[in-house]
Amino acid sequence: MPKPSIAPNPAARSARAAVLNFGLLILLLATVVVSMMLGQVSASPAEVMGAILNKVGIDWLPLPEHPKALDTLWSIRFPRIAVAALVGAALALAGLLMQAIFGNPLAEPGVVGVSSGAALGAGIAIVFGITFWGGWTTALMAFAGGLIATLTVYFLSRGGGKTEVVTLVLTGIAVNAICGAGIALMMFIGDTSSREQIVFWQLGSMAGSGWAEVWVILPVLVVGALCSLLVARKLDLLSLGERNARHLGVNVELLRLSVIIVVALVVGVSVAFTGIIAFVGLVIPHIMRGILGPAHGPLLLSSMLGGALLLTLADVAARTLVPMADLPIGMITSLIGGPFFFWLLRRTRQSAGGWG
């Protein structure tokens, strides 16, 4: 990954970030409203807003005419949209952080095996009925699986003080293969219900998401975002090279381990409820970095908004492309991210003068 330089005009960079964030927020809100309108029970924009205002005791706008529409919106559609936005933001944040600590543009939770490690951890909890921490147990096991996978990739892909592109990709392939074997074993020894849940993880889907998932993912994402904001400046220094960062007072190994824990936390919680959704953390940070530059402070919010927008759009497509069917959202993001990953891999190889 080429060593970026911090843009010389902070005021211009801040203005560009503000405009971008405002545009992303407007697009996200518009997508959320459209997503609320679409489905087996349709609703107009006024009815959607009426359903929202009715919840807080304001009856200014009309409610949906269908007798079950209000319950459908609040119990199924609204929480699903919220989970899609939160998971998209979490995966984009995780991708940005992984690219920063690995110093590698190809680092992404799905590519290097973090998502599959988290899915394996969640699968173990379900198959063996592990419930030592109540409703949080599955998320905790997913976090543990993601953390182990991330640490494995980190330590095995480093050599000579750097992380090589080919080593990172191959290590990720190996971790994905091992976790895939573990998931297959869980499917073999599990009952029918467990197998269905594991298949759900492998495909990735927002189906069945409720408010309980929202209230688990939201605080974890907030904590992860705040921790990322606190280390954003150190990540900027790390992008100048490990030696320079150390001379400037950065404890590089402590920084990396801390960020790895944050990544495993946000990815683990997301995967526990929605399954493996690849490439969001690869595509979005690169687009935002191309617009705003390499400084991580402005990139944090932009990447999270971009990730939320992408996954909300993908969820709309999953619900509407095929009538009366719910497509796997992981398939849709892979169709977008796969070609992007191929292009990025070739560009990285050319810029590095080989596979180094």
What CATH number does the domain containing 293 carry?
1.10.3470.10
At 194, list the tokens: 């467990």
What is the spatial distance between Cα 133 and Cα 118, in angstroms, rounded to a whole number?
Answer: 17
Please answer whether residues 162 and 239 qualify as being in contact, where contact means their C-beta atoms are separated by less than 8 angstroms: no
Number of domains in the chain: 1
What is the spatial distance between Cα 103 and Cα 113, in angstroms, rounded to a whole number?
Answer: 17
What is the spatial distance between Cα 347 and Cα 29, in angstroms, rounded to a whole number?
Answer: 34
160-195 pLDDT, tens digit each: 766 666 787 788 889 989 999 999 999 999 988 888
Residue 117 lies in a domain: yes
Q: How many CB atoms are located within 10 Å of the residue 8 CB?
A: 7
- Model confidence at 352, pLDDT cuts 50, 70, 90, reads low
For residues 206 and 49, which has the higher predicted lDDT (pLDDT)?
A: 206
Residue 165 lies in a domain: yes
Q: Angle, to 10 degrees, between the axis of helix 165-189 and the axis of helix 192-203?
A: 160
Q: What is the pTM of this model?
A: 0.86
For residues 85 and 76, which has the higher predicted lDDT (pLDDT)?
A: 85
For residues 345 and 312, which has the higher predicted lDDT (pLDDT)?
A: 312
Residue 8 lies in a domain: no
**Mean pLDDT of the residues in the chain:** 84
Residue 88 lies in a domain: yes
251 pLDDT exceeds 70?
Answer: yes
What is the spatial distance between Cα 21 and Cα 30, in angstroms, rounded to a whole number?
Answer: 14
Residue 9 lies in a domain: no
Please answer whether residues 5 and 241 qualify as being in contact, where contact means their C-beta atoms are separated by less than 8 angstroms: no
What is the spatial distance between Cα 50 and Cα 59, in angstroms, rounded to a whole number?
Answer: 7
Alpha carbon of residue 174 to chain centroid: 21
Residue 136 lies in a domain: yes
Residue 7 lies in a domain: no
Residue 240 lies in a domain: yes
Residue position matching structure tokens 């330089």? 5
33-72 pLDDT, tens digit each: 899 888 777 777 777 777 777 776 677 777 776 657 777 7
In this prediction, residue 24 carries a pLDDT of: 96
The parent domain of residue 50 ranges over 17-352
Ranking 35-44, 77-86, 177-186, 230-239 by mean pLDDT, the lowest is: 35-44
| Range picked from 61-75, 223-237, 268-282 for highest mean pLDDT | 223-237
